[in-house]
Structure 1
Amino acid sequence: MSDVSASRPATGSGLDRYFGLRASGSTVPRELRAGLTTFLTMSYILFVNPQVLSTAIQVPNAFVQLLMTTAIAAAFGSLVMGLVAKYPFAQAPGMGLNAFFAFTVVQGLGIPWQTALGAVFISGILFVLLSVLGARQAIVRAIPTSLKFAITGGIGAFLAFLGLKNAGIVVSNPATLVGLGSLTAAPVWLALLGLIVAAVLMSRRVTGAILWSILATTAIAIVTRAPVYAGGPEGALRSFPGFDGRLLGILDAPVWPGSLVGHLDIAGALGLGLLSVVFTFFFVDFFDATGTLTGLAQRAGYLDERGDMPRARRTFAMDGLAAMFGAFMGTSTTTAYVESASGIGEGGRTGLTAVTVGVLFLLSMFLWPLAAAIPGAATAPALILVGALMMEGVRHVDWDDISEGLPAFLTVIAMPLTFSIANGVSLGVISYCAIKLFSGRGRQVSPILYVVAALLLVRYIWLMGG
């Protein structure tokens, strides 16, 4: 197709009528290209999400099953966002939320992964209800801007810390708690190389920079036979064991994640002791999704003069529905991805872009043998780099105002240092309300936030007492 025909808006086709291509000034080829761009930019989640969740979800062939359920959840979330909300916003299991699920809830609190999935499902129900009822604006307005940015930045710091830990760059030290690992160890130098490759590709605006970095680092590990793969004798690392003779080494039929699908424990998650976990899943996803979707809508030019997004209730409800479906399939919270901005930058303006992403995630299920070749040292740079990108928002915090800066700082620093996203959110909200109240500026805080802070404070008192 020539450049002239590609730039001509679609006419009376069924796709045009359903997605409003002509009204958005777009074309089918442009939407397809934008969808491919978004997929390449966010497809690293196919490898990183199983890497994170497999530390907490112990089932046979966990990595492959988690890769499958990641692809299915991402496909469903992107398809409903495109077909129902009709926006070019792709969805997948969220970074940060998967770390909270695995390291804080399951490993830290000792909650069974089935019960944790139940908590994710319940949080999705709450998300849908509040979206449909239009309560989103009231809750969003209750959270100060500084804490919204700090929560995102804190999750970024937490992800970066996890990446450094997984790569062996940061190790435990009995004298100083943490220390620097051996830079000559294979996982360390491979992860550092991958981080440099990803940063260089991203700085040169290469589409899918994180994915290409993972693949390039994996290729280096295979060619050099670096000992970075699990499965060696007595727990030692080994070099790449091979693909077991599959077609082209990377193609095979999809595997149904039967050990994960439908295993969520909703009844267990409704217990009083887990209400704080449900709230944290809901809280983090609610405001992360709100910020992401609003920012993407602004970038695509969809916000009205009041800063509101058309079809907001439907859009946020689809985000909650995706979280519910993902929990049923066996993965942590599915949410909107900021990487959708790459597709918007390529001209994607309608739901056809998100539908394209969903279809590509379904096709990726045939490439699951490739996952066996991806070592943790290759995905660790993705955690570090995504963490760095998520820190961008803290520059919007008013650091000159201690009542704004200190709660934001506590939010950011507490997440990696206490190894808990929930603790960071809680300390930020409680300290914000306390400082504002006792400094004579209590009226600057929404009554809703005081209620939230009181509930969090009661939770900590409850924990100390029991």
Structure 2
Amino acid sequence: MTTDTTEATADATPPKSPAPKKRGLIDRYFGISVAGSTLPREVRAGLTTFLAMSYIVFVNPDVLSNAIVIPGVDNVFTQLIMTTCMAAAIGSLVMGVIARYPFAQAPGMGLNAFFAFTVVIGMGYTWESALAAVFISGVLFVVLSVVGARRAIVQALPMTLKLAITAGIGAFLAFLGMKNAEIIVADEATFLALGDMRSAPVWLALLGLMLTAVLMKLKVTGAILWGILAATAVAIISGAAVYSGEEGLVPFQGFSDGVVGLPMWPSDLAFQLDFAGLMNGESLVVGMVTVVLTFFVVDFFDATGTLTGLAQRAGYLDEHGNMPRAKTVFSMDGLAAITGAMLGTSTTTAYVESAAGVEEGGRTGMTAVTTGVLFLAAMFFWPLIGAVPSAATAPALILVGALMMGGVKDVEWGDIGESLPAFLTVVAMPFTFSIANGVSLGIISYAVIKLFSGKAKQASWLLYLLAALLLARYIWLS
């Protein structure tokens, strides 16, 4: 009887549950498992982001070299490549390690053109003075982030505009992708027109687009990355003229300088800021304030809109549309601008191409860390980046753009007070080639309609203040 009772008791004992799987240090720090991701997925997403934005390694030096000319120095372009890689690496690493967000940073397109062609060539400032202006604007970013002003602005944006910002960034990405692939081209009569559908870039991009879409439909892991690599392989093997040359598009030219290049310290660019030169012989208000504020306002709304849209797409925003660790993430954006200026490049900011990594499954800072490490590696292997043509990364931008449009279904399209600001936000980004303009027009129109339709209390007082400041900016600082 004793034996039977013992056996019965043993049978009644519930089986022990398996011990929880131990999480590694990297997993615990970045919260990879908590975010429902894996380390391989985060690394793959970081690689995808890097490939989607790797063009900046050559494009940024190409733009800035128009303004940064140093007598007696014949390797300015190479130094600019090094500076671009270092600024992108540091910006992405601080965003990943400190803010723990999957958003990469690099010298911003548009801002570099403003730096070179408007401030230096057009307004007559030296490039050293322009770097000082970028530095000051970065300090302002950090200060406003620390005191919570940038977070307050994001919280003041209604959900309608947050959804529209995400969709607008998607439209902007798709526009960039189609432009890079020459599916759309400039036209004197109609501004835009359909490109030559027989050209190699168009066919390569369409091939990559369809292949990537099929892979995504089949739920193939790493579909976007495989699409980029497959299109690149086709470009190299086929000898298609899809690479930029001195006299137009050319086939892949091989690696004439090898695949490894020793990095160098940009001694003629780093720490060359000239704060006194911002005066430029004029009053302080006309000189420094105008240039600094223009850098500040454009990048403030560009970066804020980009980060908000990416956070919404990555699932970071809560039910009230608030972003966790907002002060930190915005501060890292400002810190990247400061660091980039000290290294010798125009404003470093969050990159909208980070959406490609987010769609690839990147959910934590490990994605941005991977991108940052790859930018460091690019200082050694930058010749390899030239093997990936713009037409190969264009499909990723178009597809991600399509996916980011999904949020507009939740906009109240039957209410003109909600639908018009959302519509203006979405279309203004690609039409004006500026995320900042889309955000600005959305805020202004939302505030005006609410104020004059008797619904003023439906918007935050801060939104009305922003609208007034943005109107002033367009009137006096455009």
TM-score by length of 1: 0.77
Distance 1:311 1:155 in 2: 22
Distance 1:75 1:421 in 2: 23
Contact 1:414 1:423 in 2 (8 A): yes
How big is each residue's C-alpha offset from its partner over 1:116-160, in whole Å with a ceiling of 9 and x where there is no partner?
765554443233223322334422222222222323332332332
Q: Which residue of 2 aligns with 1:333?
A: 348
Q: Which residue of 1 aligns with 2:44?
A: 37
Q: Which amino acid aligns with 1:458?
A: A
Contact 1:69 1:331 in 2 (8 A): no
Q: Which residue of 1 aligns with 2:106?
A: 93
Query: Secondary structure at 2:412's aligned position in 1?
Result: coil
Establish whether residue 218 from structure 1 lines up as the match of residue 227 from structure 2: no
Distance 1:185 1:273 in 2: 41
Query: Secondary structure at 1:178's aligned position in 2?
Result: strand
What's the CA shift for 1:202?
3.6
Establish whether residue 282 from structure 1 lines up as the match of residue 295 from structure 2: no
Q: Which residue of 2 aligns with 1:237?
A: 249
Establish whether residue 58 from structure 1 lines up as the match of residue 72 from structure 2: no
Q: Which residue of 1 aligns with 2:56?
A: 49
Q: Which residue of 2 aligns with 1:180?
A: 194
Unaligned 5+ segments in structure 1 are: none
What's the CA shift for 1:186?
1.8
Distance 1:353 1:366 in 2: 21
Distance 2:394 2:357 in 1: 22
The structure 2 residue matched to 1:253, chosen from 230, 249, 262, is 262
Contact 2:47 2:370 in 1 (8 A): no
Distance 1:210 1:48 in 2: 17
Distance 1:415 1:355 in 2: 28
Contact 2:313 2:404 in 1 (8 A): no
Structure 1, 357-366 or 265-274: larger mean CA deviation: 265-274
Q: Which residue of 1 aligns with 2:281?
A: none
Q: Which amino acid aligns with 1:244?
A: S
Task: Please give the root-mean-square deviation of Cα atoms over the aligned residues, in Å.
Answer: 4.0
Q: Which amino acid aligns with 1:101?
A: L
Contact 1:75 1:362 in 2 (8 A): yes
Establish whether residue 149 from structure 1 lines up as the match of residue 163 from structure 2: yes
Contact 1:106 1:113 in 2 (8 A): no
What's the CA shift for 1:451?
1.8
Query: Secondary structure at 2:105's aligned position in 1?
Result: strand
Structure 1, 188-197 or 326-335: larger mean CA deviation: 326-335
Contact 2:180 2:394 in 1 (8 A): yes
Distance 1:394 1:178 in 2: 25
What's the CA shift for 1:169?
1.6
Q: Which amino acid aligns with 2:416?
A: I
1:187-206 aligned within 5 A: 187-206=201-220
How big is each residue's C-alpha offset from its partner over 1:209-262, in whole Å with a ceiling of 9 and x where there is no partner?
444333322322222222223335xx243222221162xxx3333354556544
Distance 1:42 1:312 in 2: 22
- Identical pairs, percent: 50
Distance 1:311 1:239 in 2: 46
Contact 1:77 1:92 in 2 (8 A): yes
In structure 2, the CA distance between the partners of 1:113 and 1:308, relative to structure 1 (3 Å rule), is farther
Contact 1:74 1:92 in 2 (8 A): yes
- The alignment covers a number of residue pairs equal to 436
Distance 1:342 1:385 in 2: 9
In structure 2, the CA distance between the partners of 1:161 and 1:221, relative to structure 1 (3 Å rule), is same
What's the CA shift for 1:440?
0.9
Q: Which amino acid aligns with 1:408?
A: A
What's the CA shift for 1:263?
5.7
Q: Which amino acid aligns with 2:146?
A: V
Q: Which amino acid aligns with 1:335?
A: A
Q: Which amino acid aligns with 2:461?
A: P
Distance 2:150 2:458 in 1: 20
Query: Secondary structure at 1:44's aligned position in 2?
Result: helix
Establish whether residue 381 from structure 1 lines up as the match of residue 395 from structure 2: yes
In structure 2, the CA distance between the partners of 1:365 and 1:277, relative to structure 1 (3 Å rule), is closer
In structure 2, the CA distance between the partners of 1:150 and 1:340, relative to structure 1 (3 Å rule), is same
In structure 2, the CA distance between the partners of 1:169 and 1:338, relative to structure 1 (3 Å rule), is closer
Distance 2:106 2:314 in 1: 18
Query: Secondary structure at 2:110's aligned position in 1?
Result: helix
Structure 1, 129-138 or 440-449: larger mean CA deviation: 129-138
Contact 1:57 1:113 in 2 (8 A): no
1:50-449 aligned within 5 A: 50=57, 53=60, 56-58=63-65, 68-85=82-99, 87=100, 89-93=102-106, 98-102=108-112, 114=127, 120-231=134-245, 235-244=247-256, 246=258, 250-257=259-266, 261-262=270-271, 268=278, 270-272=288-290, 275-290=293-308, 292-293=310-311, 296=314, 298=316, 312-329=326-343, 330=345, 332-335=347-350, 337-338=354-355, 341=358, 355=369, 358-449=372-463
In structure 2, the CA distance between the partners of 1:386 and 1:259, relative to structure 1 (3 Å rule), is farther
How big is each residue's C-alpha offset from its partner over 1:2-59, in whole Å with a ceiling of 9 and x where there is no partner?
xx9994334xxxx48xx856x96969xx975354233223121452334653563226
The structure number with the bigger radius of gyration is: 2
Q: Which amino acid aligns with 1:396?
A: D
